[in-house]
A = this chain, B = another copy of it.
């Protein structure tokens, strides 16, 4: 927790870069010094490439070319996202030595905004797990207690930010893979609306649910990064105004550890309880993700099963057994829920609930107070992937010294509401 960027915001860094109090090269040096290998946040650090980018950023700023709030800022990229010339390992032996020639679309956007790509962060193998403890390079570790999981699958990205190694990291979120590690590590994590950030150059997990997201110390920094990453859309011209009084509803979400629920609920005391069948949304999530994930991997499972971590192989094989009719049924029910959620979001501006119903378990634990760990981790986040709604995890304090997250959800196009609300609900 002692990295240079702990307690620093993009806003402050930007001021320092422009006042001459800092340089991109200097910030990069602080980032490299801050990397703590024992936390296993990074798979690879690209000191050379980053130095070149920092030099360019400094030269441009000196020459009066200012690319905006990410100019000169060190950023870490989850290792299922392509960065040209660096290996994309996917946390798996399957992609050992794989070096893409092109940047992913989101990396292109970051570079165009002047960001300095520091390296690639540990991912749960193929992003197929929410614990962050299964990868060829070992588990990423929670900075608040390295014997505990970081959460995943964007575990390395969350750890890199939470431990102050970088002020910003990019992750992906198919069932909670940005928000879960953000909550466990005590930072902010934002999963945009489905399709709002392009996924070209990101290895697929479940194409109906895959999102690129951002992790930073504060919601405000997530918002800044999101502005850089998001696709231009026709609605951009006229953002909906943020109402003075944001109507917040509390989603009765089923099993949540009592201390977690109370700690999170305290941040939105006036929220009105509402119901949405999250259990059914979880079933829909599973049927669709199972079929789509196995479709991506079927040839690898057949040809080289030994290259998977055993738990991933087992999960894939079970996923491959989901019958097609369940996929079809889930797709139909999903359409119905999309309408139901839209109706709910006409009556309420923002839905609130915990990000994860438990605190980070110890690495290797398969059971928690709510049953098996893996489904518990996803239980409150995956419904919003099914619905494709923007969802933000906000640091909400700690339980027994471990961070918990408040999750805020709204309609696509109303993202600003989440950040306005988060700004007024600091833990």
* Set of chain B residues within 8 Å of A325, measured between Cβ atoms: 291-292, 294-295, 298, 319-320, 322
| Interface pairs A-B: 8 shortest CB-CB | A291-B324, A324-B327, A295-B325, A295-B328, A294-B325, A322-B324, A324-B324, A295-B329
Shortest Cβ distance from residue A47 to the other chain B in the assembled complex, whole angstroms: 39
Q: Is the C-beta of A236 less than 8 angstroms from some C-beta in chain B? A: no
Contact of A290 among B321, B322, B324, B332 (CB under 8 A): B324
Distance A240 CA – B368 CA, assembled complex (angstroms): 65
Interface size classification for chain A: 10 to 19
13 A-B pairs (CB sep. < 8 Å): A291-B328, A292-B325, A294-B325, A295-B326, A295-B329, A298-B325, A298-B329, A319-B325, A320-B323, A323-B323, A323-B324, A324-B327, A327-B328
* Set of chain B residues within 8 Å of A298, measured between Cβ atoms: 325, 329
Distance A332 CA – B291 CA, assembled complex (angstroms): 13
A-side binding surface: helix, strand, loop or mixed?
Answer: helix
Distance A324 CA – B291 CA, assembled complex (angstroms): 5
Distance A325 CA – B324 CA, assembled complex (angstroms): 7
List the B residue with the shortest CB-CB distance to A292.
Answer: B328
Distance A199 CA – B295 CA, assembled complex (angstroms): 31
* Set of chain B residues within 8 Å of A319, measured between Cβ atoms: 325
Distance A329 CA – B296 CA, assembled complex (angstroms): 8
Distance A325 CA – B328 CA, assembled complex (angstroms): 11
* Set of chain B residues within 8 Å of A292, measured between Cβ atoms: 325, 328
Other A-B pairs, 12, CB within 8 Å; known A291-B328, A295-B325, A322-B324:
A291-B325, A292-B328, A294-B323, A294-B324, A295-B326, A295-B328, A295-B332, A320-B323, A320-B325, A323-B323, A327-B327, A327-B328
Shortest Cβ distance from residue A309 to the other chain B in the assembled complex, whole angstroms: 20
* Set of chain B residues within 8 Å of A321, measured between Cβ atoms: 323
* Set of chain B residues within 8 Å of A294, measured between Cβ atoms: 323-325
Distance A326 CA – B327 CA, assembled complex (angstroms): 10
Q: Is the C-beta of A287 less than 8 angstroms from some C-beta in chain B? A: yes
Within 8 A of B (CB), among A289-332: 290-292, 294-295, 298, 319-329, 332
Distance A24 CA – B328 CA, assembled complex (angstroms): 45
Shortest Cβ distance from residue A77 to the other chain B in the assembled complex, whole angstroms: 27
Shortest Cβ distance from residue A292 to the other chain B in the assembled complex, whole angstroms: 5
